[in-house]
Amino acid sequence: MLRDITLGQYYPADSPVHKLDPRVKLFGALVYIVSLFVFRGIFGFLLATIFLLFLIKICQVPFRFMVKGLKPIVILMVFTAVFNLFLTPGKQVLFHYGILTITMEGVKNAAFMLVRLTYLIVGTSVMTLTTTPNQLTDGLEKALKPLSKVGVPVHAVSMMMSIALRFIPILIEETDIIMKAQMARGADFEEGSLIVRAKNMIPLLVPLFISAFRRADDLAMAMEARCYEGGEGRSKMRPLSYRRMDYGAYLLLFSYLGGIIALRVFL
Amino acid sequence: MGIIKASKLVFEYIRRDEEGNVDSIQTAVDHVDLDVNEGDFIVILGHNGSGKSTLAKQLNALLIPSEGTLWVEGKDTKERENVRDVRRTAGMVFQNPDNQIIASVVEEDVGFGPENLGVPTEEIWKRVEESLTSVGMLKFRRHSPNKLSGGQKQRVAIAGVMAMEPKCIVLDEPTAMLDPNGRREVLSAVHELNRKKGITVILITHYMEEAVDADYIYVMDEGKVVMEGLPKEIFSQVEELKRHRLDVPQATLLAYELKKAGLPLPDGILTRQELAEELERCYVNYTK
Ligand SMILES: Nc1ncnc2c1ncn2[C@@H]1O[C@H](COP(=O)(O)OP(=O)(O)OP(=O)(O)O)[C@@H](O)[C@H]1O
Ligand SMILES: [Mg+2]
């Protein structure tokens, strides 16, 4: 279960999306998320779908990697859909039994909500799967550079983020191992009341935290040994600079967003 | 003066209570003298807690000696302004491969050191390629470190140090967490760097087999250097090694026991090969 989390996992390939400047992809993800909450009606939906399919097609990441990210949130999606289905008031009643009412509007809402959540996850996976965490944080660092003038430690924060992304899979694996070790000794993480289950988590969390602190200590030392002294005076392996294709991508993004807005306003 | 020289080096871990009063003092390194020549392959042996890691961290200026002096390429590690040069000259590889890889892609991790040094971009890529090639990991350059075996991760860590173009690398039990295959991989990579590029190697280990090919061995116990010499000299003193809670290589031990039982074998047999040859000679002499 824990291994299904695809957050921060990079899929190496040589696609045009991989080669884009990370700032474009960050901005693109933002635009796409916004568009998902702006679009309305079947044409908006079609446009968002075509755009996503186009991205999936050109980014050369196998489809199953993209949908893997959906697994952990299936429950959330079902809940949202059910709530929307039964709790949307409307004129056209399709089904009525006791307090349960399904309206046409409810069906529509539920369907769109499912689509929104799915597209949101898949859309952002396109970004994280095609961008290494380092590039992502480099992009973030550069995009937020102006903030460092007012004292925000932009470099430190983005370094922390990229390290966090690197260690997520390691800590997940470690949790898995500790969990299995405790289960082999009779620990039970699935049964009992919420309080009982929370209590059962303690023998899991304590060793996990201890090991995380030890790792942090080791890592800090390893970084220091490799002459890391903060952002000052560092050079970049991949200095960020926009190329023609990046401007093209921006253009595409803006036309897409314009299209979505136009469809909402005029249809 | 060699590339690394230590004179009466002392390091104390000082534990303080809440008020800042000294609670206890643990002398982890106790009057150690070292003299390492450029290009040498040095092995430091010692039982758990004998102060090997503490010594290693001082070679990289991660710890500053409490007493005595340590020079790395003639630079005193005590001086704040030498720290960067010291770390560039003597790179460091640690025990746990996971906890020293910073990036999520192999080549980005190898580039981390040069980035910190402010090396220009094209030069970084050149160095990344060269150092990955030198440890045989070039074809994994785009991989995630999480998907590599322990031995491969450790070789990436070595490449990360090599990309800073050090003259010396210090490896603190780099094979302790690896399986036999991984250990062989890492060791042969290190030997190759020593042989082909003339990199000075200081290998800390408690696997005796890894010490057999060394140019010089130091044995530590309770913070002191208790024995030093060529592998042959060290391993011929089986009793002495046992006293410092160290094993000897299997071949050496067998030779030692056979000799004690009366076979005319020489001291300081290190490998199975040598043992087999010596036994054959015994047999031939005996049948004559
Ligand atoms: N951070 C610390 N604070 C206090 N004492 C320490 C610290 N690190 C190590 N020591 C002590 O210093 C002594 C030497 O430790 P060191 O880690 O250098 O040994 P080692 O030879 O590397 O052992 P190992 O084979 O277990 O890695 C030990 O007695 C240890 O308990
Ligand atoms: Mg140690």
On the question of pLDDT at A6 being above 60, the answer is: no
| A241-244, long-range: CB < 8 A, 24+ apart | A241/A21, A242/A21, A242/A23, A242/A24, A243/A21
Backbone angles phi, psi at B161, to 5 degrees: -75, -40
Range of the domain at A164: 2-144+153-266
Q: Could you say which ligand is closest to the alpha carbon of residue B57?
A: 1
* B91:A10 CB<8 A: no
Average model confidence (pLDDT) across chain A: 86
Residue (of B58, B63, B25, B65) closest to B44 by Cα position:
B58
Interval A25-60: pLDDT, tens: 999 999 999 999 888 888 888 999 999 999 999 998
A40 SS3 class: coil
Domain made up of B4-231: CATH architecture: 3-Layer(aba) Sandwich (3.40)
Partners of A166 on chain B (C-beta within 8 Å) are 101-104, 145
* A225:B87 CB<8 A: yes
pLDDT level of residue A244 (50, 70, 90 thresholds): very high
Q: Which of B11, B27, B53 to mutate to test the pocket of ligand 1 (most atoms within 8 A of CB)?
A: B53
The per-residue pLDDT for B56 is 95
Q: Classify residue B185 as exposed, middle or buried by CB count within 10 Å of its CB (0-12, 13-18, 19+).
A: buried
On the question of pLDDT at A5 being above 60, the answer is: no
Does ligand 1 come within 6 angstroms of the Cβ of B54?
Answer: yes
Mutant choice from A65, A211, A223, A226 vs B, greatest count of B C-beta within 10 A: A226
pLDDT level of residue A4 (50, 70, 90 thresholds): low
Q: Over its length of 288 residues, how does chain B's per-residue pLDDT go in tens digits?
A: 789 999 999 999 988 888 878 888 899 999 999 999 999 999 999 999 999 999 999 999 999 999 999 999 999 999 999 999 999 999 999 999 999 999 888 999 999 999 999 999 999 999 999 999 999 999 999 888 988 999 999 999 999 999 999 999 999 999 999 999 999 999 999 999 999 999 999 999 988 888 988 999 999 999 999 999 999 889 888 889 889 988 888 888 888 888 888 888 888 788 888 889 888 888 888 887
The per-residue pLDDT for A91 is 77
Which H or E element spans position B24?
Answer: strand B22-36
Residues A181-186 have a mean pLDDT of: 83
In the reported structure, the alpha carbon of residue B165 is separated from the centroid of ligand 1 by a whole-number distance in angstroms of: 29
Those residues whose beta carbon sits under 5 angstroms from the ion ligand 2 are B 53
Atom of ligand 1 nearest to the CA of B50: 21
Q: Classify residue A125 as exposed, middle or buried by CB count within 10 Å of its CB (0-12, 13-18, 19+).
A: buried
Residues A239-260 have a mean pLDDT of: 92
Q: Which of B11, B12, B27, B52 to mutate to test the pocket of ligand 1 (most atoms within 8 A of CB)?
A: B52
Nearest protein CA to atom 31 of ligand 1, as residue? B49
How do the domains of chain B map onto residue ranges?
A: 4-231, 249-288
Nearest protein CA to atom 14 of ligand 1, as residue? B51
Q: Could you give the CA distance from residue B197 to residue B168 in angstroms, rounded to a whole number? A: 11
- pLDDT-above-90 percentage for chain A: 29
Neighbours of B258 (CB within 10 A): 17
Q: Any idea which of A64-78, A136-150, A226-240, B205-219 has the lowest mean pLDDT?
A: A64-78
Inform me whether the C-beta atom of residue B105 falls under 8 Å from chain A C-beta atoms.
Answer: yes
Contact A179, A186 (CB under 8 A): no
Does ligand 1 come within 6 angstroms of the Cβ of B51?
Answer: yes
Backbone angles phi, psi at A84, to 5 degrees: -65, -40
Q: Give this prediction's pTM.
A: 0.82
Contact A68, A127 (CB under 8 A): no
The per-residue pLDDT for A221 is 94
Cross-strand partners of B201: B41, B169
Report DSSP state, residue B266: P
Does ligand 1 come within 6 angstroms of the Cβ of B176?
Answer: no
Closest chain A C-alpha to B103 CA, distance in angstroms: 6
3-state SS of A66-124?
Answer: HHHCCHHHHHHHHHHHHHHHHHCCCCCEEEEECCEEEEHHHHHHHHHHHHHHHHHHHHH
Q: Classify residue A133 as exposed, middle or buried by CB count within 10 Å of its CB (0-12, 13-18, 19+).
A: buried
Q: B20: which 2 tokens?
A: 């800042």
In the reported structure, the alpha carbon of residue B54 is separated from the centroid of ligand 1 by a whole-number distance in angstroms of: 6
Q: Could you give the CA distance from residue B280 to residue B53 in angstroms, rounded to a whole number? A: 41
On the question of pLDDT at A7 being above 70, the answer is: no
Nearest protein CA to atom 3 of ligand 1, as residue? B13
Q: Could you report how far apart the first and last alpha carbons of chain A are, in Å?
A: 43
Interval A57-115: pLDDT, tens: 999 888 888 887 788 788 888 888 888 888 878 777 777 777 778 888 888 888 888 88
Q: Classify residue B133 as exposed, middle or buried by CB count within 10 Å of its CB (0-12, 13-18, 19+).
A: middle
Interval A201-221: pLDDT, tens: 888 888 889 999 999 999 999
The per-residue pLDDT for A1 is 44
